[in-house]
Structure 1
Amino acid sequence: MAESEFQEGNDDDGKTRENFKKSTEELLEKMENLTVWATQIVYDCIAIRTNPDLTNTMQHLEDAFLRCKEQLEKKGQEVLME
């Protein structure tokens, strides 16, 4: 009887270790992803601060994109009206 209880205890310990290992690996992966994300943000901030023209260029690209999108929507409406 005591021997079977001992084996059950070992099984529980093994499952607990597996769960802990899996949880630890998942947390490590999340931390790695957050580290990459934070590094990209810092890189972008440094690039903008060291090159102020980049901000102006990005604004120009955004404006051009919005104008283009507006024209496409107008053309799409015209095609639907025909």
Structure 2
Amino acid sequence: MAESEFQQGNNDDGKTRENFKKSTEELLEKMENLTVWATQIVYDCTAIRTNPALTTTMQHLEDAFLRCKEHMEKKRQEKPN
């Protein structure tokens, strides 16, 4: 009887450790994602402050991309199956 209670306690400890390990890994992954996100924001802010023309250039590139995308979509629709 004492042995089964001891084994039961070890099993619960094992589950607790596994749950703790899984939770810790999930939190670490979330922290890594937030760190990357924050780094990108800081980089973007720094780049814009050091080169104000960058915002205009990025807008120009986005407009060109959207025009190109629209043109390619029209070509795809015109192409016969």
TM-score in terms of structure 2 length? 0.80
Deviations 1:3-56 (A, max 9, x none): 211221111112211211121122112211211111111111111121111001
TM-score in terms of structure 1 length? 0.79
User: How many aligned residue pairs are there?
Assistant: 80
Q: Tell me, which stretches of 5 or more residues in structure 1 are unaligned?
A: none
Structure 1 residues 7 and 56: CA distance shift in structure 2, 3 A? same
User: Within 5 Å, which residues of 2 pair with 1:60-79?
Assistant: 60-79=60-79
Q: Which stretch of structure 1 is more off in the superposition, 65-74 or 42-51?
A: 65-74
After superposition, the CA RMSD in angstroms is 1.7
Q: Tell me, which stretches of 5 or more residues in structure 2 are unaligned?
A: none
